[in-house]
Amino acid sequence: MTTLIMGIVNVTPDSFSDGGRYADADTAIAHGLWLRAEGANLLDVGGESTRPGAERVAPRVEQERVLPVVRALAEAGAVVSIDTMNASTALAAVEAGARYVNDVSGGLADSDLLAAVATTNADLVLGHWRGPSADMYARAEYADVVQEVLRELTDRADAAAAAGIPPSRLVVDPGIGFGKKGAQNWDVLRALPRVVGLGHRVLVGTSRKRFLTEALATDGAADDPSVTESRRDLATAVTSVLAAQAGAWAVRVHDVVATRDALRVSEMWRRPGVAGVRG
């Protein structure tokens, strides 16, 4: 199985890593087309930041940001995902050409979302979530983080099925960085084969996240200025390769090139009979 690359298109002023760079539609569209040209198989367009501490955005504002971008990218032939927790935005984006709805809340933030997506032909990504970004870390209490994530993802998949969405249209995301502190993220990543074992496609998103900075910082600080964006992108590429080896269907990243190259090198390493180059 070839792991797909989902490129991130944040049409927001306040995303944790690239907030404001692509906040207007024309810049976001250009960025999405560039990510596609660099090797992204899917483009995930979002108009609401889910960084730690972020406040919710009104659906009207979210839609003003994302719908022109979704429509233009879909018309250009890209496979588009809408990153939203709102049923109305999901429906509008699918009508504009999105083929995936990526809900980091797993349908918990808006009780109408599962039923809304069921009326479309879009596939649905269900993220593991324990509450809004404003206080997500206060909810990061687990007796057994892996067991609880598996159970809660199963509950969300069952809820989607009850709403009329067949398993063939579902993707699950263990929610790395959402309601999980540093070591808990590593525990879940090490258990990715068990997440894959649930029987659904699995999306993994580690890109530039806080727990990577903590791992690379000399003192474990999440705000260590020496852990630059390029260092976090390299760490993301490594975790993306490991996720692919564990059976992930797709990885969600900011830096498509680094991940594309890392996945390609991993593929060549594991492929038998590939002729080497003599130095």
pLDDT at residue 278, as a whole number: 47
Q: What residues contact residue 155 under an 8 Å CB cut-off, 6+ apart?
A: none
CA–CA separation, 129 vs 140, rounded Å? Answer: 10
- CA-CA-CA-CA torsion sign (140, 145, 147, 150): positive
Confidence check: pLDDT of 244 > 80: yes
Structure tokens at 45: 């367009």
pTM of the predicted model, to two decimals?
0.91
% of residues, the chain, pLDDT over 90: 78
pLDDT digits (tens, 9 = 90+) for 138-170: 778 899 999 999 999 999 999 999 999 999 999
Q: Which of 172, 228, 233, 165 has its CA nearest to residue 199? A: 172
Q: Enumerate the active-site residues.
A: 209, 252
Confidence class for position 17, pLDDT limits 50, 70, 90: low
pLDDT digits (tens, 9 = 90+) for 40-85: 999 999 999 776 666 778 999 999 999 999 999 999 999 999 999 9
CA–CA separation, 225 vs 235, rounded Å? Answer: 15
Q: What share of residues in the chain are helix, strand, coil (percent, to 5)?
A: 45, 15, 40
